[in-house]
């Protein structure tokens, strides 16, 4: 992947270098020897995103901001975007009132 991988070369990650490729970031490995936790982490990230979408309102500031989405994993965002995050207000029905919600049916999780 890199010529002379054991040599310290601070400039190897600068843009324009020939060996700078997106395959350099492979947190779970590649090929047949990938980490067993790979699929679990993907599932956990999806669940986390669903929980955030369920409990919070996310608004991009300003509303007409352009989001740049990259299909490759990255440790940084491609453009600076601000979000306004607010908790969704959820009304809980009084005990004994059955409206078909999970809370009314005895679910211990606050929805």
Indicate whether 52 pLDDT > 80. Answer: yes
Predicted confidence at residue 91, as pLDDT, reads 72
Distance CA 15, CA 67 (A): 22
Tens of pLDDT along 5-44?
888 888 877 777 766 565 666 778 878 888 888 888 889 9
Predicted confidence at residue 3, as pLDDT, reads 75
90: tokens are: 């959820």
Secondary structure (3-state) at 44: helix
Closest CA to 83 of 64, 63, 66, 60: 60
Closest CA to 57 of 34, 33, 83: 83
The pTM (predicted TM-score) of the whole model is 0.46
């Amino acid at each position: 992947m890199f010529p002379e991988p054991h040599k310290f070369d601070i400039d190897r990650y600068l843009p324009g270098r020939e060996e700078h490729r997106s395959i350099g970031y492979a947190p779970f490995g590649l090929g047949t020897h990938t980490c067993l936790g790979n699929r679990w982490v993907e599932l956990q990230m999806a669940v986390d995103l669903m929980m955030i979408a369920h409990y919070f309102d996310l608004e991009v500031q300003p509303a007409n901001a352009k989001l740049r989405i990259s299909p490759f994993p990255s440790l940084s965002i491609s453009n600076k975007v601000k979000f306004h995050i607010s908790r969704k207000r959820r009304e809980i029905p009084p005990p004994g009132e059955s409206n078909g919600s999970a809370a009314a049916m005895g679910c211990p999780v606050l929805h």
